[in-house]
Amino acid sequence: MISRRLAMVVIGCAVSAAAAPSYAAVDGWPSFDAKAFEAAQAAGKPILLHVTAPWCPYCKAQKPILSELLQKAEFKDLVTFEIDFDTQKDLLRKFDVIKQSTLISFKGATEVGRSTGDTKASSIEAQLDRSI
């Protein structure tokens, strides 16, 4: 027989997981698309990959910083993609990512910046600057 306390914990976890927002849906960030990524690279566009997890406090802190920075005119052409740390393990291997909250910047096909757990607006902006 399951104790009452254990049952409440299980129910609470299930409710929390069901209520966890999808960042891409909330913030309009598209999920990673290989064809779109390759097209942006071929066109020499600046690209930002954001590896996130809904449970990650650093990812949550990065979102408003990135949203604000992406409103700036100099980043209007930046192509953004989101990679889900929990479900897109093939992409983690492809991009050699070992932790959530990783930001990877490209200038065309060349990687020009990478950070993990960075929540300082100035250093995130400096990384984005390297891609344009």
Position 41 in a domain: yes
- Read off the CATH number of the domain in which 78 is found: 3.40.30.10
- CA 4 from centre of chain: 38
Domain with 32 in it: 21-131
Residue 76 within a domain: yes
Q: Is residue 127 part of a domain?
A: yes
In this structure, is residue 12 part of a structural domain? no
Partners of 111 in beta bridges: 106
Look at residue 75 and tell me if it is in a domain. yes
Token pair, residue 56, equals 């990650």
pLDDT digits (tens, 9 = 90+) for 59-96: 999 999 999 999 999 999 999 999 999 999 999 999 99
pLDDT per residue over 20-55, tens digit each?
A: 333 333 356 889 999 999 999 999 999 999 999 999
Looking at the DSSP assignment, which residues form a beta bridge with residue 110? 107
pLDDT at residue number 63? 94
Q: Give the number of domains in the chain.
A: 1
What is the reported pLDDT for 27? 57
Pairing outcome for strands 102-107 and 79-84: unpaired
* Residue 5 placed within a domain: no
Domain presence at residue 59: yes
